[in-house]
A and B are shown apart, each in its own frame.
Chain A
Amino acid sequence: MLQSKSFVRKTKQGKVVKVVREHYLRDDIYCGASSCKVCDSSGARLTSSASTILIVDTNVVLNQIDLLENQAIDEVVILSVVLEEVKNKNLAVYNRLRALCSNSMRKFFVFSNEYHRETYVKAMVGESPNDRNDRAIRVAAQWYQNHLGNATRVLLITNDRENKRKATEEGISAETVESYVKSLGQPGLLDLLVQPPSQDLGMEEVEDLRPSKRKIIYTEHKPMSEITAGLHRGIYHQGKLRVNRYNPFEAYVGSESIGDEIIIYGRPNMNRAFDGDIVAVELLPQDQWHEEKSLSIVDEEDDEEENVHLVPNSADDAPRVTNQMQGSVGDANAVLSRPSGRVVGVIKRNWHSYCGSLEPMPMPAGSGGVAHALFVSKDRRIPKIRIQTRQLGNLLDKRIVVAVDSWDCLSRYPSGHYVRTIGEIGDRDTESEVVLIENDIDNRPFASQILACLPPLPWSVSSEDLANPIRQDLRHVRVFSVDPPGCKDIDDALHCTALPDGNFEVGVRIEMTPEAEIISTRYTKSVIKSCAALSYVEAQARMDDSRLMDPLTADLRNMNALAKVMRQRRIDRGALTLASAEVKFQIDTETHDPLDIGMYQIREANQMVEEFMLAANVSVAAKILEHFPLCSLLRRHPSPTREMLEPLLRTAAAVGLNLDVSTSKALANSLDRAVGDDPYFNKLIRILATRCMTQAVYFCSGDLTPPEFCHYGLATPLYTHFTSPIRRYADVVVHRLLAASLGIYKLPGIFQDRPQLTSISDNLNYRHRNAQMASRSSVELHTLIYFRKRPTDTQARIVKIRSNGFIVFVPKFGIEGPVYLTGRGDKGSGEWLVDEQQQKVKKIDGSISYGVLQTVRIHMEVVEPQPNRPKLQLTLI
């Protein structure tokens, strides 16, 4: 083992510090080829029969990761210098590459050339780090060739011309990605290639040919140094770009430096930034701040329109359009207080792959099989993407995945490349998979390693389990379960026994007085024998049927009585009864097409079960926090700020309702008082209130202080998820914590590590949000399928007023969407006036007016204004 020292200079907060680190060079790093006789081949990944071994350059990995992920590319050596460079440049690609290297099905081998005695390269004087790394790659390639001998060809894949030239000079065979892929003879693979930007100019034919649009050229992005300086001096503002869901030509940048959101209108001002990019924004001069445009739901320059969407469930995903107009509308000097700006540079890209389809186009005649096409993403916030394909005929009627590569300032659309095909457009399975992919949901079956953790099937309670003293035998107790109808994972088992002293012993082992005071809680593992699996409907029916007097029904009634008391007390503490528009489909058993849509009905039995599950969760939260104050997984719901509740207050004020939002209790009370003329009014207000709140999140108790643990919606100081380990991972984690606190198992190691637990809870939140989004898109998809055959007239409520229409909510189906007052063609938006204070839109002559929360009748039908993008259109009757 040899030791050498590498001297690195590093700047830290502007200071230049000399850092000296040791760097040990080793001779026990093996080449990874199983045919090699010199090296230890226990960790070998490359097969002996391989005639060619690939060594890839950093830029190849960064740009062509989709290609590398294809099965056709194998026998690849990834050098540690490449890994390190990739890690510094793009963490997402690094993770994908690491996944490839650890995948036992693929033959990717990581060679730690930086620590190998013979391949370590010291930077020469005056050599840039890039050149040094390129040289390191060449030295490693050379070493491989010498090491493996002439039987195997070591091929260096690089697109860097200089590197390739030097490699050839040094006697290493080198090729560009294109020529290598061509030599493989699989035309489909070529589509996966990212085209170098220089070839982009040949794509005029798919450009939008409208003369006015051809001139559009984006301004050059400012260099990073200038952006940093500008941010420092306060002329630029940094923030995450969020594109308006309803209008892709409008985006917001939440900037901390000016404490407000900056609006960005139009693609030229967005300057090639994507949704989610971190951008630097320059404010436009005040006289260019647009007026009123933000109020319109459709931008007139747009050839697209807004989709009908499901109701967003919380403030997290709805764009915060808090428009404070000063002075009345119609005042010519109306000053808009919202700053607008334009993007001068992108600090961090949020590019990933997108699902969608190709814009229909005629098959080009004989252009060598290569066709240029425009890809239209399913997500409206993403602009069209240009791709090159050799299999156009195959792809036209398919949903495909496309990744973005670059966006030149000379081209109107970004260019990308084809990744893979999902399936036929319009096919329900394909579209469902699109929903899953878009929300980053992994629906692959569990890996064999995971399944190996489970006991073999068929499983039954063994005598060992029964004999285990930790597990308590409760099979004599009358336990029953209440779950949704058709539920496969029965997890809400309850029981309720009257104790001799008049108290009740309930369900999740919580003892109570008849006044539902919890006397004592006991946590134990147990064996139960369920005497009945009830659905909510059955349980409700049993409770309501006064003739039934059997013990099970008596138990149900007792529990219900207790639940009511608990619920009342919770409400007295200030728990909010929030409403959301949950929809339920009736699905045809044969075709799996939706037969009927309706709002999910909530029964007393649901509330009863919910109440006991809440109680169990709260007690478990207290228990684990007591034992593990720093590493418990809890769930909290932050209190909404006044600013977040602003839209609710304005709507309420418009209908003459005064809401007190000072505390959750005050809000709950004023929500209770908000009873209008019709029964649905209250629910609607609650739905609006729900949307103003942020979502509840999981967190690790060590990361926050106890006052922050509180759950606003439930008005409890502590909460966690415990009762459904079969469908939520959080519950599994909490189960382990609880088991450890009872001394049943040892606490797994990851709980000792706070950063790990924090990352688990972050991932739980991310997955939870994605699952919600996916379920919403899936409902949207089924709604479309349902209404495709059945145009319907129905009642709707106005929830938001815009200058050329309003957004309505259809209570019966839980759908929200826009209704336009002005036609698409005519630009006469002057006909209608918006009154912000009153939340009303009036015809200029005052003949017709619509106010917020007003009931209107609408007609719903599915139209397809753009191919492959059907949508639900709502029109006023």
Chain B
Amino acid sequence: MEFVSPEGLRLDGRRPMEMRQIRAEIGAVSRADGSAVFEMGNTKVIAAVYGPREVQNRSQQINDQALVRCEYSMANFSTGDRMRKPKGDRRSTEISLVIRQTMEACILTHLMPRSQIDIFVQVLQADGGTRSACINAATLALADAGIPMCDLVTSCSAGYLNSTALLDLNYVEDSAGGPDVTVGILPKSEKVTLLQMDAKLPMDTFENVMQLAIEGCKAVATYIREVLLENTKQLEYRRGV
């Protein structure tokens, strides 16, 4: 199948190096300590953060750092056909773990010993790149909750189809079966906290694809900073400073 036309346009009209439209909103769940909605095109994810709070299960308590927990789920209505997926299936467990590890890398856990931070992410609408969207939403929610972090973590995916590196695959491109590289970085230090690919790629191609994904992450970071800044300004305004 032709995913990039000879004119250089993808199926949805983007060019290979273009991301889908992104939108973020902070404070979607008022009960949570921090929350955010993050959209990448038609992929829509909501994240809520509780904590730092007392560890619920005492046996899990860690004495020198905070316990970070993450739960990922997909709403039943998130894909076109309504399907009841059992909670805790392998895919969700894996993504929960991935998100937890990625977020743990930026949270300053040693500042909050014997406490627990819960991150809940739910996919409201899925159209490819849910993993990246979840991480971006979680970052925003953590920032909203005021949890100390060394940097933001942002994530973006890139793929390789029709011998072209494509940024931010949507569902159609994702299900083409080509390689899908998800990268998460700490934009300030440009350190990689997440790198996933379940396919084979020649090394030099892989580097190109990964570089493209990193560019995507940086673009996401710029946008997230803007949103946070705007949000802070709003807070300032409300307090009447």
Contact = CB atoms under 8 A, between A and B. Distances in A.
Interface of A: 3, 5, 15, 17-26, 80, 98, 101-102, 110, 112, 114-115, 746-747, 749, 752
B41 interface: yes
A607 B192 CA distance: 61
B15 to A, nearest CB: 8
B198 interface: no
B225 interface: no
Contacts of B201: 752
Contact of B80 (A5, A17, A115): A17
Interface stretch (B3-11, B144-152, B214-222): B3-11
Given A112-B7, A752-B202, A19 B80 contact: yes
Contacts of A110: 5-7
Interface in B67-119: 80-81
14 contacts: A17-B81, A21-B42, A22-B20, A23-B12, A23-B13, A24-B14, A25-B13, A102-B6, A112-B7, A112-B9, A115-B9, A115-B13, A749-B202, A752-B202
B197 interface: no
A26 B6 contact: no
Contacts of A101: 6
B172 interface: yes
A825 B49 CA distance: 96
Nearest to A111: B7
Contacts of B14: 24
A22 B7 contact: no
B154 to A, nearest CB: 21
Contacts of B202: 746-747, 749, 752
Contacts of B127: 20, 22
Interface string B11-46: 111100010110000000000000000000110000
Contact of A22 (B9, B12, B81, B200): B12
Nearest to A120: B13
Nearest to B20: A22
A98 B13 contact: no
Nearest to B179: A752
Contacts of A19: 80
B12 A749 contact: no
Contacts of B12: 21-24
Contacts, number: 54
B7 A80 contact: yes
B205 interface: yes
Contacts of B9: 112, 115
Nearest to A115: B13
Interface residues of B, number: 23
B200 A749 contact: no
A21 B6 contact: no
B170 interface: yes
A5 B170 CA distance: 14
B189 interface: no
B80 A21 contact: no
A747 B204 CA distance: 11
Nearest to B2: A87
Nearest to A101: B6
Contact of A26 (B13, B21, B81, B170): B13
A84 to B, nearest CB: 10
Given A19-B80, A24-B18, 18 more contacts: A15-B81, A17-B80, A20-B80, A20-B127, A21-B11, A22-B13, A23-B12, A23-B13, A24-B14, A24-B21, A101-B6, A115-B13, A746-B202, A747-B202, A749-B202, A749-B205, A752-B200, A752-B201
Nearest to B163: A749
The DSSP consensus for interface residues of chain A is strand
A5 B39 CA distance: 15
Contacts of A114: 13
A20 B200 contact: no
A102 B9 CA distance: 15
Contact of B6 (A98, A747, A749): A98
A21 B81 contact: no
Nearest to B178: A753
From B7, B13, B41, B170, name the one whose CB has the most chain A CB atoms within 10 angstroms: B13
Contacts of A752: 200-202
A458 B115 CA distance: 78
Nearest to A24: B13
Contacts of A21: 11-12, 42, 170, 172
B96 to A, nearest CB: 27
Those 9 A-B pairs whose CB atoms lie nearest each other, nearest first: A24-B13, A115-B13, A22-B12, A17-B80, A22-B41, A112-B7, A3-B21, A24-B14, A110-B7
A110 B13 CA distance: 14
Nearest to B171: A21
A576 to B, nearest CB: 38
Interface in B154-177: 163, 170, 172
B76 to A, nearest CB: 15
Contacts of A24: 12-14, 18, 21
Contacts of B205: 749
A17 B82 CA distance: 10
Interface string B193-217: 0000000111001000000000000
Contacts of A23: 12-13
Contacts of A112: 5, 7, 9, 13
A535 to B, nearest CB: 44
A114 B10 CA distance: 12
Nearest to A87: B2
A24 B202 CA distance: 31
A826 B202 CA distance: 72
A23 B170 CA distance: 12
B56 to A, nearest CB: 39
A110 B2 CA distance: 16
A19 to B, nearest CB: 6
Contacts of A3: 21
A311 to B, nearest CB: 42
Nearest to B177: A755
A19 B42 CA distance: 11
A15 B82 CA distance: 13
B174 to A, nearest CB: 13
Contacts of B7: 80, 110, 112
Nearest to A10: B80
From A18, A24, A752, name the one whose CB has the most chain B CB atoms within 10 angstroms: A24
B228 to A, nearest CB: 24
A752 B203 CA distance: 11
Nearest to B170: A22
B42 A20 contact: yes
Contacts of A115: 9, 13
